[in-house]
Structure 1
Amino acid sequence: MRIGILGAGAMADALGTQWARAGHQVMVSGRDTDRAGALAARIGSGARAGTFAEAVAFGEDAVLLAIRHDGVSDVLAAAGAGEGALRGRTLIDCVNAVVWESFTLASSAPMAERIAAAAPGAHVVKAFNVCHADVWRMTPPVFDGAPLAVPLCGDDPGALDTVRALVTDLGCVPLPGGGLERAGLLEATAAFAIGLWLGHGADARAMLPPLTHP
């Protein structure tokens, strides 16, 4: 696949590196062109760097939005999303709009819905937002013998198929999270779990019984 990445930070690094190793073509982008170029060189495997607009044009199969939540509007505008540059494209949203002091959501409007509104015609899929970038650097992310599960929320069947394939390429298992209207629940789950992990040093998995329990 040809994957454009909006961002040149930790998530762009982790996922871009894994996808490039899996044989996909990757272009990263950022406000700092030198930083984006350095990331492309670090990813290797033919990865390249460009502007936000160039990354969208490159990402014929998928575009990953991997930036801080407070920069989403500006980056999508720079990428031409408002003019339809992402129309028909699979747009993967891994953004967490979290207030880190309180581990609450920064807005009552789900991030995924705001992204969809700012990128008319894009097929938005919420994914990869629950775990820290270091987890995505694992090859593969397996814990206690079980591969990591990645919930996906989206409305377009083709876009969901694309993201499922990219999840599988990481050695993970895609989970059906429902339509994009449920992405807000996934975002809230991430904020709550992160609060347990970082705020209290608690294992968020411990609050759920195993599937085999009645």
Structure 2
Amino acid sequence: MADALGTRWAAAGHELMVAGRTQAKAQALAGKWQARTGTFREAAEFGDVALIAVLYQGMPETLAEIGAALRGKAIIDCNNAVEVEHFTLVTEPGRSMAQHIAEVTGGHVVKAFNLCHARVWQMQPPVFDGRPLTVPYCADHDPAANLTERLITDLGCVPLPVGDLRHAHHLEAMAAIVISLLFTGSDAHTVFNLVDHVPQLPGIRPAEVR
């Protein structure tokens, strides 16, 4: 996700800095984008907004390293705490990873970009049947939401606010369904394409959701 989104944002003219737990991976991404690497604190001071893209198993360690570096900063959370045996959330019922990140970092978290496979974000732009992809997001903080909307638009997508951060767990629960479909062989680009799966009744056209 960091690679897919960062590559598109770099192409749109944004300056990026990479911080990570694995220096070699951070340097590889920075080299791809002609960007710099730094510590979490340096990256926080550098950017107007931070994207956290980490497998949920590594999130506690990552947040411990970030500490208070992102306090008061806009943070985009694209992560999903979904185990892939039964495809259920590992977070507490009704609580989201986005809220946890906000509590630990003191940052202004926006939940976004968590419902599509990375291959979708690599599309230039993500357009289906002539329609740009709609990207739902949740946020409590208007300036952070505005920054996120700009980054969504820079991908060629349409931002869709769906509530404050209390609603982030709904997006994460939907991601559990998406991930289960991907693991069972659905096309990453059309995981919600219902046209091929719903029988057409006389006089009724099945809906298509992308």
| Superposition map of 1:37-76 within 5 A | 37-44=27-34, 47-59=35-47, 61-76=48-63
Where in structure 2 are the equivalents of 1:1-214 lying within 5 Å?
A: 11-44=1-34, 47-59=35-47, 61-81=48-68, 85-108=69-92, 109-120=95-106, 122-199=107-184, 201=186, 203-206=191-194, 209=207
Task: Verify the 8 A CA contact 1:167 1:173 in the aligned structure 2.
Answer: yes
Q: What amino acid does structure 1 have at the position aligned with 2:89?
A: L
Aligned equivalents of 1:30, 1:75: Cα separation in 2:
8
Preserved CA contact (<8 Å) 2:193 2:208:
no
Question: Which runs of 5 or more residues in structure 2 are unaligned?
Answer: 199-205
**Secondary structure of residue in 2 paired with 1:18:** helix
Give the match's secondary structure for 1:204.
Answer: coil
Q: Which runs of 5+ in 1 are unaligned?
A: 1-10
TM-score normalised according to structure 2 size = 0.86
CA distance in 1, matches of 2:184, 2:102: 31
Identity of aligned residues (%): 52
Q: Deviation digits for residues 103-153 of structure 1, max 9, x if unmatched?
A: 111122311111111112x11000000111111111101111111111010
Q: Normalising by structure 1, report the TM-score.
A: 0.84
Q: Deviation of residue 205 (structure 1)?
A: 3.8
Shift in Å, 1:52: 2.1
Give, in whole Å, the separation in 2 of the partners of 1:178 and 1:205: 25
Q: Which runs of 4+ in 1 moved over 4 A?
A: none
Counterpart-to-counterpart distance in 1, 2:33 and 2:10: 7
- The number of residue pairs the alignment matches comes to 194
Contact 1:129 1:187 in 2 (8 A): yes
Go from structure 1 to structure 2 and tell me whether the alpha carbon gap of 1:163 and 1:73 turns closer, same or farther (over 3 Å shift): same
SS of aligned partner of 1:25? coil
Distance 1:110 1:186 in 2: 9
Q: Is the 8 A contact 1:53 1:78 kept in 2?
A: no
Q: Is the 1:153–1:176 Cα contact (8 Å) retained in structure 2?
A: yes
Instruction: Tell me what 1:8 maps to.
Output: none
For the residues of structure 1 that align with 2:53 and 2:186, how far apart are their CA atoms?
26
Question: 2:136 aligns to what SS in structure 1?
Answer: strand
Q: Helix, strand or coil for the counterpart of 1:184?
A: helix
